[in-house]
């Protein structure tokens, strides 16, 4: 703490007001991007003015409310991907301070706030320029980047849904009021959808998964197999079956519709002549579980599809790969991490993900409120979520 209170630097920033959401989030993003490649934690100290005077946290210091609020800011979909951070309160000179410790993010991808990347240079946090972004994105060799960031060299821009991307580009061109928008391919690169290689623009895996005309041509396992059994085990007759392919957003829409079509309600309780009905499974829990299925699965090195098996007494959703990174620590769903950070960001931008790091917890809460048994989780090279019907 003596070091943090001595002066600001490229890894230390002071913020006077605990209500300055934009300033705090931009500072955290800049620390996560670690422009100087220090590979050391960065610190945002809240409650200090620019001269180092301890102003404290005011009324926000009461209880854990401030820490919870700041944690929600940093885990919201405004910051993508979510950095690793820690919050703790510190008292100096009778004043309380909030210290946010931020680990460097292993860019690429580059961490952004409200769609804009920030870096720390000297004692200043500023918006990253195209040259800054190029420097950050070249930091890791291609083969060490997340799979969804790696280029698919057999694919071209023609393998993407050009009409959808052009429409988004036209909207960005209208909204851009700070500088001339880049040419289309440069804009695609800026969105981390691909890059130039040997004179030709190539999409990455995330671009194909989110916008591909036929992503299964390059990623054969990127599909969902839905099976409805007329019994309680896999030897039961198959009542219906559907193979769901196409880009991930379309897969989600189709899978959500399939789950909704198979959902039934049953009597919950009687109150005189009025009989109450509840769904066998809470719809929001099914929607969250399906989103988790496609967002966090392994797409690399496997032709295995994600599977949804609906039995008379339960639904099992399984995908290739175990919990990734920090998500493997503690109880399943307690911590979040992103095997596919760029795909996750694109799903956020397209409106298919509203909250980050809370999916499994939300599934558990919806099941409890609906009167279903607790969620069951199995990990054995696959990740399997088991939702049992309300009895």
Q: What is the band of 271 on the pLDDT scale with cuts at 50, 70, 90? A: low
pLDDT at residue 31 tops 60: yes
pLDDT at residue 175 tops 80: no
Q: How far is CA 198 from CA 42, 153, 201, 202, 207, in A?
A: 37, 10, 8, 10, 19
Residue whose entry in the numeric block shows the structure tokens 């309680």? 232
pLDDT tens per residue, range 198-233: 889 999 999 999 999 999 999 999 999 999 999 999
Question: Mean pLDDT over all residues of the chain?
Answer: 89
300 against 60, higher pLDDT: 300
User: What fold, for 2-127?
Assistant: 3.30.950
Within the chain, all domains assigned CATH 3.30.950.30 are found at: 2-127
Q: β-strands 314-320, 306-310: how paired?
A: antiparallel
Percent of the chain with pLDDT over 90: 63
Q: Which of 113-127, 136-150, 181-195 has the lowest mean pLDDT?
A: 136-150
- In the sheet that 224-229 helps form, which strands lie side by side, from edge to edge? 238-244, 224-229, 306-310, 314-320, 382-388, 376-379
Rounded CA-CA distance 33/333 in Å is 25
CB 371 within 8 A of CB 276: no
Within the chain, all domains assigned CATH 3.30.565.60 are found at: 224-388
Q: How far is CA 22 from CA 18, 28, 145, 281, in A?
A: 11, 10, 29, 39
Q: Which of 16-25, 87-96, 151-160 has the lowest mean pLDDT?
A: 87-96
pTM for the model: 0.76
The CATH number of domain 224-388 is 3.30.565.60: yes
Gyration radius of the chain's alpha carbons: 23
Mean pLDDT, residues 281-307 taken together: 93
pLDDT tens per residue, range 233-269: 999 999 999 999 999 999 999 999 999 999 998 877 6
Mean pLDDT, residues 141-159 taken together: 90
Q: How far is CA 282 from CA 6, 103, 237, 310, in A?
A: 53, 37, 25, 14
Mean pLDDT, residues 76-87 taken together: 90
């Amino acid at each position: 703490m003596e070091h943090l209170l001595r002066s600001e630097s490229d890894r230390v920033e002071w913020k006077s007001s605990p209500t300055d959401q934009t300033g705090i989030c931009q500072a955290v993003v800049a620390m996560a991007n670690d422009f100087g490649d220090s590979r050391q934690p960065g610190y945002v100290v809240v409650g200090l003015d620019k001269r180092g005077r301890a102003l404290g946290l005011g009324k926000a210091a009461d209880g854990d409310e401030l820490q919870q609020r700041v944690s929600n800011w940093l885990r919201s979909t405004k910051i993508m991907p979510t950095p690793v951070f820690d919050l703790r309160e510190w008292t100096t000179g009778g004043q309380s301070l909030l210290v946010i410790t931020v680990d460097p993010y292993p860019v690429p991808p580059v961490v952004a706030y409200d769609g804009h990347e920030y870096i720390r240079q000297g004692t200043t946090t500023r918006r990253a320029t195209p040259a800054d972004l190029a420097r950050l994105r070249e930091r890791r060799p291609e083969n060490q980047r997340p799979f969804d960031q790696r280029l698919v060299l057999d694919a071209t821009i023609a393998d993407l849904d050009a009409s959808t991307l052009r429409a988004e580009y036209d909207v960005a061109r209208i909204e851009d009021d700070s500088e001339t928008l880049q040419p289309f391919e440069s804009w695609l690169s800026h969105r981390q959808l691909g890059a130039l290689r040997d004179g030709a623009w190539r999409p990455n895996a995330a671009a194909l998964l989110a916008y591909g005309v036929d992503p299964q041509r390059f990623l054969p396992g990127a599909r969902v197999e839905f099976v409805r059994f007329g019994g309680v085990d896999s030897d039961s007759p198959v009542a219906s079956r559907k193979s769901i392919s196409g880009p991930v957003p379309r897969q989600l829409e189709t899978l959500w519709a399939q789950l909704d079509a198979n959902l039934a309600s049953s009597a919950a309780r009687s109150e005189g002549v009025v009989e109450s009905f509840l769904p066998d499974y809470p719809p929001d829990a099914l929607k969250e579980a399906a989103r988790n299925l496609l967002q966090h699965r392994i797409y690399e090195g496997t032709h295995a599809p994600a599977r949804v098996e609906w039995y008379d007494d339960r639904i099992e959703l399984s995908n290739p790969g175990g919990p990734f990174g920090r998500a493997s620590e503690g109880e399943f769903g307690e911590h979040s991490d992103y095997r596919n950070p760029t795909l996750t960001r694109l799903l956020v931008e397209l409106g298919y993900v509203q909250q980050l790091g809370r999916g499994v917890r939300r599934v558990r809460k919806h099941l409890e409120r609906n009167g279903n048994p607790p969620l069951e989780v199995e990990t054995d090279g696959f990740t399997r979520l088991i939702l049992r019907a309300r009895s």
